[in-house]
Structure 1
């Protein structure tokens, strides 16, 4: 069973538009996985897939921003495994927050989130904003801009890839 089939089967009781939002809210997968599922499996209009994926990807940002710190402290206090994980996460993000990033933090955060690769999305961008003590409004807008750029890139690559496959397999002629 592949990734897409797993989520389609898992959420078969939900309407496709809601599945796209849910997949977009899942860490690491985010809209990078939701847009291809929406367009490729559900046959959704690319613009609708893009909008739903951006909405889904942004839902966790506010929650993470306001609850990651208290939840991480609580879990770290009660579990050595969580303490190690959050120490690793926060130290990793802090090491990457050098003077150049501080000077261009809004642009740097947007660019980091915009790169459509695993561990560069809204979840990690929000954690970085927390560790580097970005104000919520600036962080939210930078992350939103990055998510929109990543969504445009993924939508374009998905539509282009499907078009190329159609040409190769003769379905487009």
Structure 2
């Protein structure tokens, strides 16, 4: 059970699934439903400070390299295209709603990049991401539990 919880939390930190994959993984492998929610939510929440550290320290160093800069610009443009209208127009609320939608490409990674690119205050961006992550986790958690209950009948 502990290994399954840790794996679910690693999925929640991963940019390839975030809590959208971590929560179903934990629930389908028999981890306690509340422990799965809490662990995956906190792990997904940890992404924001990690991304900000990356922007402040690592990104500035690597931007000197041509190929890194090219990839960073590509990712920045995609983040602006996905979240740009909402964040630019609605700020905090736009970022929160964008992160709360549990679709691929709308999680805390893109939310952190969008908040950084649009120059949102870090505290506001953190709370927008945190509330959005929480809403997204609740949606995924309830949907997974409902689906599991349906399959058991």
TM-score by length of 2: 0.89
Indicate conservation of the 8 Å contact 2:87/2:114, yes or no.
no
Task: Specify which of 63, 71, 79 is matched with residue 76 of structure 1.
Answer: 63
Shift of 1:85: 1.2
Task: Name the structure 2 match of 1:57.
Answer: 44
Give the number of equivalent residue pairs: 152
Shift of 1:23: 1.4
Q: 1:82-121 alignment to 2 at 5 Å?
A: 82-95=68-81, 96-98=83-85, 101-121=87-107
Measured in 2, the distance between the counterparts of 1:36 and 1:57 equals 14
Q: Give every structure 1 segment of 4 or more consecutive aligned residues whose post-TM-superposition deviation is greater than 4 Å.
A: none
Measured in 1, the distance between the counterparts of 2:63 and 2:8 equals 32
Q: Please list every run of 5 or more consecutive structure 2 residues that lacks an aligned counterpart in the other structure.
A: none
Q: Please list every run of 5 or more consecutive structure 1 residues that lacks an aligned counterpart in the other structure.
A: 1-11, 168-173
Q: Deviations along 1:74-93, whole A, 9 cap, x unmatched?
A: 2232242x222111122233
| Backbone CA RMSD of aligned residues | 1.9
Q: Does 1:67 align with 2:54?
A: yes
| Larger gyration radius, structure 1 or structure 2 | 1
